[in-house]
Amino acid sequence: MTGNNQHRRTILVTDGEQRATLAVVRSLGAAGHVVHVSASAPRSLAAASRFARAEYVVPDALADPNRFADEIHTIVGRNSIDTIIPMAEPALLAILPARGRFDGVSIPFADAHTFTGISDKQSVLAAASRVGIAVPAQTVITDARDIESLDISSLRYPLVVKPARSVSTGSDDRLKLSVQHAASANELRGVLDTMDARAYPLLLQQRIVGPGIGIFVLVWNGKLVAQFAHRRIREKPPAGGISVYRESVAVDAELLRMSLALLAEFAWHGVAMVEYKVDESTGTPYLMEINGRFWGSLQLAIDAGVDFPRLLIEAATGNAPAPVTQFRTDVRSRWFWGDVDHLLTRLRRSDAQLALPEGSPTKWGAVRDFFRRNPQDVDEIMRRGDMRPFARESIQWFKQLGR
């Protein structure tokens, strides 16, 4: 699309602090589009890219979603933006309900109601059961009052404490919610005692030990436009969280079929990541969640040959891209500073403190794995010809370390 002004879009991508945003900016900029970036603080990671035309500082979508949406509307009007790509969940929760304000502007995501539904882990797990996908055994706590009638000692440990949503809903400030682990009844009581009321309902889930597998798709007008899969190798925090080292793997046909059936339960439209944990003792894949947005390891998919951002824009503008179902496997993507954080955490804290499962690498093993290089390795942020994002991230990492 480079050089073809007929199809060139002027695009605003939110959440410049995120690595996935950098991947989108690089992808769409290289495709010939004019890409603007917004962030809640100046000098964001994505705005450092040579493919970013301009950067805007906006209110935090988590703390003040209404002011955030107002500022995005102003930026769109002043800069003739014709496409908005909200990246993080708070941005989507702020912009999708206000879609009517952005007349003539493409926002290539499902409507607010559908996005809210697919972001609810409780609803997603119920839908998964209907289409035959295995889900972890769980107990649901609707609100804090349910704790009084819950026999905590009868639960099977270890377990995972998951808010049904990653971001609390509300018209004003919202809360980013995280997963916690409990190895005993006492640990669970401690977790529940500190839980914010906005975190409910809570899912007390069976802990599945095994590799994380992601199925990634772009579905448009009921058709599969692109597919991809990866396996998590290391995460931050180490017991489960953001992948910092991962590899592209062949798409399991049955997992893809079930994932598409699950997305169809929500009449899904756009990009999505369907996340599984494969039980190491039985080989059974258990559904963890769906992310109805671009994911943290997006650059790996692009490096392996599935350019989701470009394909999304082409589909949204009616260009009907040819489906992309083949890609390079065994490509490994490393987020360097995230991997450093993983290693430092392993060295500073015990396995029990980190809630690591039995069989996890030793501290020496973690050091060895960190320094072992593979010919398939690709650095996620450091790119020849576009080094400023890595330099900016490195400066910010050292500043944070100093604090």
Angle at 361 between CA 204 and CA 345, to 5 degrees: 70
Tokens 């993983």 belong to residue: 342
Q: State the pLDDT at residue 171.
A: 61
What letters, b where the CB count within 10 A reaches 16 and e where it falls short, cover 103-123? eebbbbbbebebbbbbbbbbb
Q: State the pLDDT at residue 4.
A: 47
Rounded distance, CA 89 to CA 14, Å? 11
Q: DSSP secondary structure string, 233-281?
A: EEEESTTSSEEEEEEE-PPPHHHHHHHHHHHHHTT--EEEEEEEEE-TT
Angle at 322 between CA 319 and CA 328, to 5 degrees: 135
Residues 6+ apart with CB under 8 A from 154: none
Rounded distance, CA 283 to CA 305, Å? 28
Angle at 367 between CA 363 and CA 370, to 5 degrees: 135
Q: State the pLDDT at residue 383.
A: 95
Q: State the pLDDT at residue 3.
A: 42
At 129 the three-state DSSP class reads helix
In this prediction, what percent of the chain has a pLDDT beyond 70? 98
Average pLDDT for 54-79? 97
Tokens 């690089």 belong to residue: 26
For residue 106, give the nearest of 216, 297, 222, 269 by alpha carbon.
269
Q: State the pLDDT at residue 172.
A: 67
Residues 6+ apart with CB under 8 A from 341: 236, 244
Tokens 């944990």 belong to residue: 277
Q: Going from the N-terminus, what domains does the chain have, and what CATH number goes with each?
A: 7-107 (3.40.50.20), 110-135+208-403 (3.30.470.20), 137-206 (3.30.1490)
Given a cut of 80, is residue 367 above it in pLDDT?
Answer: yes
- Amino acid type, 354: L
Average pLDDT for 256-278? 97
Using pLDDT thresholds of 50, 70 and 90, give the confidence band for residue 44: very high
For residue 284, give the nearest of 206, 353, 223, 337 by alpha carbon.
206
Encoded tokens for 199: 């975190």
**Cβ neighbours of 138 (radius 10 Å):** 16
Cβ–Cβ < 8 Å for 229, 252: yes
Encoded tokens for 27: 């992808």
Q: Does the predicted model carry a pTM greater than 0.85?
A: yes
Using pLDDT thresholds of 50, 70 and 90, give the confidence band for residue 170: low
Q: State the pLDDT at residue 149.
A: 87
